[in-house]
Amino acid sequence: MMATTPPAIRIPQLEPFLGEEELAELADCIRTNWLTEGPKATEFVRLLRDYTGARHILLVPNGTLALYVALMVRGIGPGDEVIVPDFTFFASGSSVVLAGATPVFVDVDPGTLCIAPEEVERAITPRTRAIMPVHMYGQSADMDAVMRIAGDHGLFVIEDAAQGIGTRLRGRHVGTFGDLGCLSFFADKTLTTGEGGAIMTNDDRLADLTLYFKNQGRENRGSFIHPYMGYNFRLTDVQAAIGLAQMRKLDDLIARKQRAEAHYRARLAGVEQVRFLADVPGSTRVPFRIGILVPDAPALTEYLTQAGIGLRGFFYPLHRQPAFTPQNSRHLEGIRHSVYAYEHGICLPSSAGLQETQVDYVCDRIAEFFRR
Ligand SMILES: Cc1ncc(COP(=O)(O)O)c(C=O)c1O
């Protein structure tokens, strides 16, 4: 049989939702001659604080560094263990290794694909210092359970909310439950600055430490006196300008993604082979990526790709990643839901700009595949 080349993608899996508003903000940076973290960043932070309710927001160059800085300012390092879900992006685990500590990978809840609280309990040792719940695909982790376990065992909580902008549990924004929460503004995220990230905290001391750590160990840029050790982990005003415009249309962006997901769910309700992810009670999901679990993901992926539909696979289990070795990490035995998700998951087109007719087209092709 001759190999066929897939058609040029007609429906992208995920693309940013940019327009004249972002252009105007960018032009303003050039006109005012201000490029590094400055007035646009200040305004971006103000809007982020209002929106999330976090007492402090500190901008950093990306979500990976947000996690790294959060671990460092919480004093986590060599000899410490951090409990991380096995099903997540690489950075949730690599940031722990790069901070000098040991990530301990545990299985996820099969419904939400967020960290399974009972597995967290099983992983605690005298060396455990923190838990890192991840709000996967814009679904809140079970923060009531995580915070209870953390309280019972005197552990810190660093929330990986890289995918979680807009997601709330009982009205409270994810990333504001634990000691520190981390956002990513990478190009595929619901709110983007191209590259970018932020640290959220309600703790004044941790906010101060974060400021020093990201700003060359000093409070203000103009000073040459550096009381502490620190990096240059600032965002530029050019990026913050994009974020500012994105913040102003975030409600619309989120509503569009939620409408798309609701439409997928309604259209695929009769296709028994398709399973959507579950919600933690009391939470509002912001579908960063719209994922489904199906019996034969590779075959469906091939079929939809041939139909011009852009897709993404699910994350590769961290305990199987070549970069995580017995020397730098640990995992609990019996991890299976994370492996199942990797083998059966497909992310469908999930952009804010996705049209209802495009969702119909994708759903028709999926139904057609299972009818064959
Ligand atoms: C769960 C999770 N954590 C961390 C990150 C890292 O964020 P960034 O790409 O901004 O470094 C990502 C990015 O995709 C992510 O999905």
Give one DSSP letter per residue of 138-176, joined into a string. Answer: G----HHHHHHHHHHHT-EEEEE-TT-TT-EETTEETTS
Atom of ligand 1 nearest to the CA of 134: 1
Q: What is the DSSP letter of 235?
A: P
Domain boundaries, the chain: 1-372
Distance 22 CA to ligand 1 centre (A): 22
- Give strand pairing partners of 348: 290
Burial 264-285 (b: 16+ CB within 10 A, else e): beebbeebeebbbbeebeebbb
Active-site annotation holds for 189: yes
Give the atom of ligand 1 at the shortest distance from the alpha carbon of 195.
10
Task: Order the strands of the 168-169 sheet from edge to edge.
Answer: 172-173, 168-169, 283-284
CA of 270 to the centre of ligand 1 (A): 34
What's the CATH number for 1-372? 3.40.640.10
Mutate to test the pocket of ligand 1, among 59, 64, 158 (most ligand atoms within 8 A of CB): 64
Ligand 1 center from residue 3 Cα (angstroms):
35
> Token match 């932020």: residue?
198
> CA torsion angle for 292, 293, 299, 304 (degrees, to 10)?
-10
How many whole angstroms from 64 Cα to the centroid of ligand 1?
6
**224: CA distance to ligand 1 center in Å?**
33
Ligand 1, pocket-test mutation among 14, 186, 193, 312, most atoms within 8 A of CB = 186
Q: Is the shortest distance between the CB of 88 and ligand 1 below 6 Å? A: yes
Asked whether the CA dihedral 224, 56, 83, 134 is positive or negative, the reply is negative
Residue of 40, 189, 214, 257 with catalytic role: 189
The per-residue pLDDT string of the chain (372 residues; one tens digit each, 9 = 90 and over) reads 455 666 666 999 999 999 999 999 999 999 999 999 999 999 999 999 999 999 999 999 999 999 999 999 999 999 999 999 999 999 999 999 999 999 999 999 999 999 999 999 999 999 999 999 999 999 999 999 999 999 999 999 999 999 999 999 999 999 999 999 999 999 999 999 999 999 999 999 999 999 999 999 998 878 899 999 999 999 999 999 999 999 999 999 999 999 999 999 999 999 999 999 999 999 999 999 999 999 999 999 999 999 999 999 999 999 999 999 999 999 999 999 999 999 999 999 999 999 999 999 999 999 999 998
Q: Whose CA is nearest to atom 12 of ligand 1?
A: 162
Contact predicate 114/142, CB 8 Å: yes
